[in-house]
Structures are given as structure tokens and as C-alpha cells.
């Protein structure tokens, strides 16, 4: 077993156990990485399935799971599994009124059923997001962003608009935030001069984008602190991250849901503003006052 001083049994919540496992992922052997990736992608199975069932699903030997447990400081797989089983016993709150409401949405044929399914998926994604992270984790990431020389926010594909919105709003307050990639360039181009003291907030979701993975790897090599946002702790950007956030993206429709991603970034933004110097609110107020003065906003009193 390694020399990590890891709390045993119930001392760690399942989310914390998974965070520790994700931090070790890059240094594991291929077989151990395969086992760990399965657990990170399917944490709910850990509490209900036997070691042989998990091993078969992950296509590894049961002993591989034992060795995986030891990488995060447990003496064996059963000890590793205990927090997951305990969480199942306590269960999550039951909301019968909500259940009845969701059932009522499903009436009215095929589209009514889809409407109810979308509502249920959105609520579950939000719940899973906030139950899987903590205020302390968000505060640590916000501290990093506020104190950074420059914070780069990287998102491509479905995450591009989210990255731009976050950088735009943060820029009103602290002025050291930029979204990448910039028009006509690659993400790595923006980080040529980045290093210690800078922060990269990077987002990518299955199927993971190569340019994001490569940019995160390069940033880490240059000493940039990485805040990774993805849909699994097994995501290839997580092993290089100082802070990791898992965003559930389940949906009954074809396109990936970004409801929980929006909620995470809005909450992180709130923490950034709360964590910044007192003159931050004054900065935001001046920003809007200038726009009002320039006539950018609609005003019925002055409209023709």
C-alpha cells in the first residue's frame, strides 16, 4: 500500500474518495486505470454490486480492484466500498410532491412525456451537481481566480458560449479574465506566455475535445493552475487539475444538457464576486452606469 495518509471508512464521503482516485489516475498502470475509470464513471454501482460484478463490468480481475483501493489508502476493496454503501443506506431525500408533479407533466401523449422527462432530467442534474461538490471547493476555485495574474476560460463546442459568458461577466468585476480560443487562433496560442500565477478554467465533455486536453496538459507543464470542469472524474483533463468539478449532463434528448454547467458557472461567478475586494461591486455599477449614459439600454422615458 502507498504511504498516503488517507482517512479510513466513513471518514471520507464517496465524492471525496472519487476525487482522490481521480488525482491518482494519470500515474496508474493501464489495468488499474481501466478499473479506476469504470468506478469514476459508475460510482453508483460501487455500493450495490459485488467486487466480481464490478470487475466483470470493468473487464479487469477482482484483484485489480483491490490494488486500486490501495492506491487511495484503503486496506482492501470492501473498506473502499463502505462509504458508498453507507450513502445508499441513508439515501437521498424523497420528494413525493415533486414526483406527482413530474408524473402530471407526462400526461398528454408523446410530447407530454418528453416534457416531463426533460423536467426530471434537469432537476436531477442540478441535484447531482450540488450534492457532488461543496461550498469549500467552490471557494478554493474562486480564490484562485481572484488572485490570478490572468484567468483563461477555455471552452469549445457546446462549452464555448458558456466560457465566453463567464469571462464577460467576470471581466466586469476583476478585469483579469479572458475566454479562449480567440477568433482565428488555437487555445494553446493564448497560453504562450502563461505560467505560475495564471489560472486555466477548462471545460470539455464526452466526446472529449483533443485541443482542450492538449491545452490543459501544456498549461500544467508551464505551471498554470488548472480548474477542470467535465462530466466524469475519469475525464482526461482531470489528472492535471488542482480543482475538479463534475457536471452531470444526462438528458432524454439527443443533444447534451448544459443546465448543470450553467448552474455551476453561475455559482462559481457568485463566489468570485463575493471573494473579490470591496471595490468589485463599484466596478460592476460603473460598468452599467456607463452603458446607461451611452444609451445602450432601452429607456422608455427617453424613447422616441
Q: Residues 114-138: pLDDT tens digits? A: 777 888 889 999 999 998 899 999 9
- pLDDT reported for residue 296: 76
| 3-state class (DSSP) for residue 61 | coil
Q: In terms of residues, how long is the chain?
A: 304
Greater confidence, 32 or 281?
A: 32
The CA-based diameter of the chain, rounded to the nearest angstrom, is 77
Contacts of 146 (CB under 8 A, 6+ apart): 174, 272, 275, 276
- pLDDT reported for residue 237: 96
- pLDDT reported for residue 242: 95
Residue 6: is its pLDDT beyond 90? no
CA gap 37, 14 in Å, rounded:
15
pTM for this predicted structure: 0.72
What is the pairing mode between strands 225-230 and 199-203?
parallel
- pLDDT reported for residue 110: 62
Neighbours of 187 (CB within 10 A): 23
- Mean pLDDT (the chain, rounded): 84
- Interval 234-251 mean pLDDT: 93
Cell numbers linked to 146? 481572484
pLDDT digits (tens, 9 = 90+) for 8-62: 444 678 888 888 999 989 899 999 999 999 999 888 788 878 899 899 999 999 9
Amino acid at each position: 500500500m502507498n504511504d498516503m495518509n488517507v482517512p479510513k471508512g466513513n471518514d471520507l464521503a464517496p465524492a471525496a474518495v472519487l476525487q482522490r482516485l481521480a488525482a491518482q489516475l494519470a500515474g496508474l498502470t493501464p489495468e488499474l486505470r481501466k478499473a479506476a475509470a469504470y468506478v469514476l464513471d459508475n460510482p453508483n454501482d460501487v455500493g450495490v454490486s459485488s467486487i466480481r460484478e464490478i470487475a466483470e463490468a470493468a473487464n479487469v480481475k477482482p484483484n485489480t480492484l483491490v490494488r486500486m483501493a490501495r492506491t487511495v489508502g484503503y486496506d482492501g476493496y470492501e473498506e473502499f466500498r463502505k462509504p458508498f454503501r453507507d450513502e445508499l443506506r441513508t439515501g437521498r431525500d424523497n420528494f413525493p410532491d415533486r414526483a406527482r408533479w413530474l408524473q402530471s407533466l407526462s400526461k398528454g401523449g408523446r410530447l407530454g412525456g418528453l416534457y416531463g422527462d426533460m423536467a426530471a432530467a434537469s432537476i436531477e442534474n442540478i441535484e447531482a451537481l450540488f450534492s457532488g461538490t461543496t461550498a469549500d471547493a467552490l471557494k478554493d476555485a474562486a480564490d484562485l481566480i481572484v488572485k490570478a495574474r490572468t484567468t483563461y476560460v477555455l471552452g469549445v463546442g457546446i462549452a464555448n458560449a458558456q466560457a465566453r459568458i463567464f469571462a464577460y461577466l467576470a471581466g466586469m468585476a476583476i478585469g483579469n479574465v479572458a475566454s479562449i480560443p480567440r477568433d482565428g487562433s488555437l487555445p494553446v496560442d493564448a497560453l504562450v506566455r502563461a505560467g505560475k500565477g495564471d489560472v486555466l478554467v477548462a471545460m470539455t465533455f464526452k466526446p472529449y475535445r483533443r485541443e482542450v486536453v492538449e491545452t490543459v496538459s501544456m498549461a500544467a507543464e508551464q505551471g498554470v493552475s488548472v480548474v477542470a470542469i467535465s462530466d466524469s472524474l475519469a475525464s482526461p483533463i482531470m489528472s492535471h487539475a488542482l480543482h475538479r468539478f463534475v457536471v452531470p449532463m444526462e438528458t432524454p434528448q439527443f443533444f447534451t444538457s448544459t443546465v448543470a454547467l450553467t448552474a455551476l458557472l453561475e455559482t462559481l461567478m457568485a463566489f468570485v464576486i463575493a471573494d473579490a475586494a470591496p471595490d468589485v461591486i463599484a466596478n460592476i455599477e460603473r460598468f452599467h452606469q456607463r452603458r446607461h449614459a451611452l444609451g445602450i439600454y432601452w429607456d422608455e422615458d427617453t424613447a422616441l
